[in-house]
Amino acid sequence: MDTVPETTKQETAVSLKEYIERIFDEREKALQIAFKSQQEALSIATIALNRELEHLNNLREEINSARREFLTRVEYSSSRTTIEEKISAMEKIMDMKAGSVSGMSILWNTAVSLATAAAATTVILNFIRH
């Protein structure tokens, strides 16, 4: 009664086989596209990483170059000692000049006082004589 003819079964079986093969082919293509996309993404990431590493290498070189220009502790200590010695010598010279100015000031004040006393004595003697 409801029997399917033999030719229809074979056509259905072949059609099912083709359908499954088509699904496998489509999935294979999708996997290949996904793999290719991942390869491209990996390539782009590799390029970006190489650029970043290049930038970091340049930065490291700049830092190393700048470090070579800095004074070491030994150089700083030596320079500081030399500068302190020069400052000390200059302070001594300034103290000597200040002392000499003070001495000159005292000498000048004494001379002015003596001149004033002599002038006053002369005025008094002239007053008494007249």
> Any idea which of 8-12, 52-56, 118-122 has the lowest mean pLDDT?
8-12
Domain boundaries, the chain: 1-70
The pLDDT value given to residue 68: 86
Q: What is the rounded average pLDDT for all residues in the chain?
A: 82
Mean pLDDT of 65-92: 83
SS3 for the chain is CCCCCHHHHHHHHHHHHHHHHHHHHHHHHHHHHHHHHHHHHHHHHHHHHHHHHHHHHHHHHHHHHHHHHCCCHHHHHHHHHHHHHHHHHHHHHHHHHHHHHHHHHHHHHHHHHHHHHHHHHHHHHHHHHC
Higher pLDDT, 123 or 9: 123
The pLDDT value given to residue 109: 74
